Structure 1
Amino acid sequence: MFQNRLINIMLIILVALTLIGVIALVLYTQVFQEAEAEGEPTIDQVLERSVETEEITTNLLSNHIIRSQFVFQLENEGAKQELEKRNFQIENIIIQQLSDMRDADFQGSEGIKELEGRIRSEVNQIMQEGQVVQVYMNQRVIQ
């Protein structure tokens, strides 16, 4: 290649080190990106992607009144912004679901979990930017 043998050896070593560096960089970024994507979100990420409803008061099927508040955990920031814009639709879904329930449905945790699941399912049907990961009943007062 070149006349000087020392220059040839230096170029080969330089190309080899560059190649090793590029491979190490690609492997490093791929491994750590996959590790972050697979893990559960931290509590800070959950709080950043959560929306809390205002207190909702409505009648139950059993002629009792319920005051409740919900927290929606979303999968990304776009979904959070969309849910905040759809606030009136979310409150309507919650009121409809609560209106079909009796005070006895809230006696155990199963009734609350079922309600949260139905609300999540209904909200996910209208969402376009992302999905609701979890719904939490934050407050519940039955009178």
Structure 2
Amino acid sequence: MFQNRLINIMLIILVALTLVGVLALVLYTQVFQDSDPEGEPTIDQVLERSVETDEITTNLLSNHIIRSQFVIQLENDNAKDEFEKRSFQIENIIIQELSDMSASDFQGSEGIQQLEDRIRNEINQLMEDGDVIQVYMNQRVIQ
């Protein structure tokens, strides 16, 4: 290659160190990095950031009574803290939304999904430190 043997040895060492550095960088970024923080949360994270409401009993528009309970998944811990402080406002929103519905609105899954979406949107307008990700109706009894 070059006439000077010392330059050849220095170039070989530099190339070897560069390859080791690139290999270390690739291993660090691909293997040792945690999973994508913007990805789907694990079930443990969902449970940590979820709040179950008290059982709510109210009249429906069709003169029926509904007893319901919701689980609300929040974006982060700050949102969960704010949600717990605003529990009376949240229950008021839920009662208002239920009062505008009739018993026939609960016949299919579409009516329940629409209720969950409306509750989520109303709560998100109220929240300052985070958002509601999902609302789950986990109990309902209509009489």
TM-score between the two structures when normalised by the length of structure 1: 0.80
Separation of aligned partners in 2, 1:122 and 1:98: 13
Listed as ranges, the gaps of 5+ residues in structure 1 are none
Q: Secondary structure of the residue that 1:37 maps to in structure 2? A: coil
Separation of aligned partners in 1, 2:112 and 2:33: 39
Deviation string 1:29-86 (CA, Å, 9 cap, x unpaired) is: 896443x432x22211111110000000111111111110000011111111111111
1:1-143 matches, within 5 Å, as 16=18, 19-20=21-22, 23-24=25-26, 27-28=29-30, 32-34=34-36, 36-38=37-39, 40-143=40-143
**Greater helix share, 1 or 2?**
1
Aligned alpha-carbon RMSD (Å): 2.7
Separation of aligned partners in 2, 1:24 and 1:45: 29
Percent sequence identity is 63
Separation of aligned partners in 1, 2:28 and 2:38: 17
Q: How many residues align?
A: 138
Structure 1 runs of 4+ aligned residues shifted over 2 Å read 11-34
